[in-house]
Structure 1
């Protein structure tokens, strides 16, 4: 088991469901982070047979759920992991209030992607949780950023970045100032250009990271998601964190059981 203080230092110092809904029949089902212990038992009245009657059952019965407590994980260091290469570009995105968090959807013709070894994963959207979902023992970050990448075959990769209080981030401010206040609303056609890489830590071209097999962190909690947690955090200002909380607060899922999973890293 890795030393908690050591891992916390490396991580700190250094699904909302994505745009495409995973189940059209479950789109209108109500869920909240305050009732996350009940996600698996939420019923879809439009169905009468199991498993369709419980579209979020994986939240309760899955054995590779996210997020996790990094301090509880066994760390395997290996030089055989595929290297991450981040190839983001400028975009004129859509600013979206999902009803569960603030989100930025990339445009239809956006070409930015994450490269894992020889495989590429287009960036579909990125969103924010307050506070962080991944924790290191009793260390929880003020917020966490998730970059969601989806290939045409449905394979999904999420890259997570811890957020700490510190220097202001101008791109984050642009996002905060353009997210609609009403849940479910989108703001598009603004002409505002941002580059998602400006929300990454300085060493993002050759990032140190941890990786594990997990799930979406919101219903339907689908598994088969590969997670990459960057080892270095970014900062936003105290005023920006307060503005983020003005949209949503405590929209973070609690850490889930590891069930024997190992955390891999090249560090």
Structure 2
């Protein structure tokens, strides 16, 4: 069920449930969390799918039987979130984010620029379960839509629990002020696919990559990249963060378009 969690300064949490009972999607979804399962997994599949032509999103399910969920899944991501279909109700628990500045290594996996964790000191708690941050990466334009509209980019922070279950925080990015928290990463953006990770000399301030207003939509979906694995806990923040026109252009010089189109929502 789709719900919107609003974290306020006071210990009050609201949840908004999508009027349609289920926000499970059919068709295809591409969470670069696919790369989350391990860097090895990402490298194995990286040469077999893309974002255009015969290996583009509409063909992911044909490329490998392991990608069957991309076409046959029932809760695929990303989705279009229509604000008019959201209604308020009380939530049992709030999302808890436990972030601190941390060091990362970065890579160009052929599909995005991805920052991989050096340690497991950052986590989120969703519905009482802890998920450790594994990596974060970017898409342009945004994969999720709000009321049928895309943002310039979208950031995905990918987490896993002890059983390997995935939870992703999605952050919309709009053109605006330079994002200083990403300066060290952007200074060494790998323009070509990398064989080895590049170490960042400065820690990334993860809290600064999230909007101050933590209102967010929650739903069960999938990875947005092959194999489009389902059972992913999605949290998509309503408010965007900013990046400069120069920063957005630098990413688009490497990946002009690396987003999966929104998927149909199956209503119960």
CA 1:80 to 1:65, structure 2 compared with 1: closer, same or farther past 3 Å? same
Query: Structure 2 vs 1, CA of residues 140 and 86 (structure 1 numbering), >3 Å: closer, same or farther?
Result: same
**Structure-1 residue corresponding to 2:224:** 217
The superposition leaves residues 73-115 of structure 1 with CA deviations (integer Å, 9 ceiling, x where unpaired) of 83242212421121111212111111101111111x2311012
2: CA distance, partners of 1:23 / 1:185? 14
Distance 1:24 1:253, change over 3 A: closer
1:85 to 92, 96, 109: 96
CA-CA distance at 1:69 after TM superposition: 0.8
Q: TM-score, normalised by structure 2?
A: 0.81
- Could you say what the CA RMSD is over the residues aligned between the two structures, in angstroms? 2.3
Are 1:198 and 2:196 an aligned pair?
no
CA–CA separation in structure 2 for the residues paired with 1:199 and 1:24: 24
Contact preservation (8 Å) 1:129, 1:143: yes
How far apart are the structure 1 equivalents of 2:46 and 2:261?
A: 23
Using the alignment, how far apart are the partners of 1:232 and 1:226 within structure 2?
19
Aligned length: 235
Unaligned runs of 5+ in 1: 3-14, 44-53, 262-267
Spell out the pairing of 1:1-267 with structure 2 (5 A cutoff): 15-18=33-36, 20=38, 27=45, 29-34=47-52, 35-43=56-64, 54-71=65-82, 74-107=85-118, 109-203=119-213, 207-260=214-267
Q: In structure 1, how many angstroms separate the alpha carbons of the residues matched to 2:43 and 2:258?
A: 23
Q: Distance in 2 between the 1:198 and 1:159 partners?
A: 14
Which consecutive residues of structure 2, in runs of 5 or more, have no partner in the other structure?
Answer: 1-18, 21-32
